Amino acid sequence: MKDSRESPRILVVEDELLVGLAIKEMLKEAGYHAEGPVAAPDEVRSLVAALTPHVVIMDLNLGGHFEGIDLGRELIQQGIPVIFITGYANEPILQKVKALNPRALLIKPLTPQQVLHAVEVVKAG
């Protein structure tokens, strides 16, 4: 994390617009600087380069494909903390995600408490 006095920047990567906007709004209400939602991998990469987010909240399933796993792997390799979210809690997918050692894995439907707690854990290091 960067300077703890600044409001952490969080990028929301979610292909379901209403879900993404709800996450963004809950983060903003909690005092975070939230961007997104975005879903296209190239747009995510561009925003990450421009914003240098403190954390990315990443849906596993983007547009019917599990591109979120590969995109999350890229970000983790760049040293960016990733909180994965998914509505698909089957064991093979969960094992793939766990192998990446994400900061958190949240199962939809999400509650504001789950999301904010996961962000606080990342923020605390």
pLDDT digits (tens, 9 = 90+) for 48-61: 999 999 999 999 99
**What's the whole-model pTM score?**
0.92
Q: Which amino acid is at 109?
A: P
88 pLDDT band (50/70/90 cuts)?
confident
Residues 86/102, Cβ–Cβ less than 8 Å: no
With b for 16 or more beta-carbon neighbours within 10 A and e for fewer, the 101-116 pattern comes to ebbbbbebebeeebbe
What value does the mean pLDDT take over residues 65-76?
91
Provide the domain limits for residue 92: 9-114
CA–CA separation, 101 vs 97, rounded Å? Answer: 7
- Report how many domains make up the chain: 1
- Lowest model confidence (mean pLDDT) among 4-13, 36-45, 70-79, 84-93: 4-13
Is 122 a domain residue?
no
Residue 115 has pLDDT above 50, yes or no: yes
What single-letter DSSP state applies at residue 87? Answer: S
